[in-house]
Amino acid sequence: MELQVKGGNTRQSETRFGMASIILALIFLVFLNALVLTERMILPGGLFMPLPGIGLLCGLIGLARFRKKFSYSVFGILLNGACYVILFLYFVASLSVYPVP
């Protein structure tokens, strides 16, 4: 009985928010692949652009749940952050390839 009580106090399970954060980042990466391959917004950008932001929020909520493991949350936050960084660099580089004087 005592073991059961102690087990409930340890970080033994991941949060659903952490998982959601990773899944949102992966969905956004699919959109990013389509964008890079076609050089056009064949998927609606308005629908996909907010995904990493929502993913980051989910990751932060997952981190705030101290009694749970937070590896998914950290992974989700890093992946969503990387998505935004890649997207930003991609557009900046696109504008810089042949700049209009």
Partner 1 sequence: MTDEFKERLKRYHEGQLSADEEAEMERELDKFDVYQSFLDEQEEEDHTEINSQEVIRKGWFHQRFSIIATVLTILLLIIPLLGLSSKIYYVGKASDLVDLTTKTVYLTEPNVTVGEGQLDVNDHFFNMSFTMDLYKQVGGEKVRIGEWDVLYDLNRVDYPDYPNRNYVIENPPLDIPRPEEKKLYHPDEYAPSSGWDQLEQLPDGTVAEVYISFDQLYRESDIKELLGQMRTDWQWFAVNTGLEQNGKSVEGGYMTPIGYPSESNARDWSPREGIDDRGNSNEEQFLRVMKELEDYEQQATDIARTKWLDLKERNDYLDENGVEVYGAVITGPVEELLSLKERREIRNMKVGEVRLWNYK
Chosen residue from 15, 17, 20, 22 binding partner 1 by CB under 8 A: 22
Q: Does 36 bind partner 1 (CB under 8 A)?
A: yes
Q: Where are the beta strands (DSSP E) in the chain?
A: none
CB 77 within 8 A of CB 59: yes
Q: Does 4 bind partner 1 (CB under 8 A)?
A: yes
Q: Does 2 bind partner 1 (CB under 8 A)?
A: no
Residue 14's SS3 state is strand
Please, what is the minimum distance in Å from the beta carbon of residue 1 to partner 1?
A: 8
Q: Does 13 bind partner 1 (CB under 8 A)?
A: yes
The residue range among 40-48, 49-57, 60-68, 85-93 that interacts with partner 1, by the rule CB under 8 A, is: 85-93
Cα separation of 77 and 28, whole Å?
13
Q: Does 46 bind partner 1 (CB under 8 A)?
A: no
CB 17 within 8 A of CB 59: yes
Question: What Cα–Cα distance (Å) separates residue 76 from each residue in 20, 69, 82, 85?
Answer: 8, 13, 10, 14
Binding site for partner 1 (CB under 8 A): 1, 4, 12-14, 19, 22, 25-26, 29-30, 32-33, 36-37, 39, 75, 79, 82, 86, 89-90, 93-94, 96-101
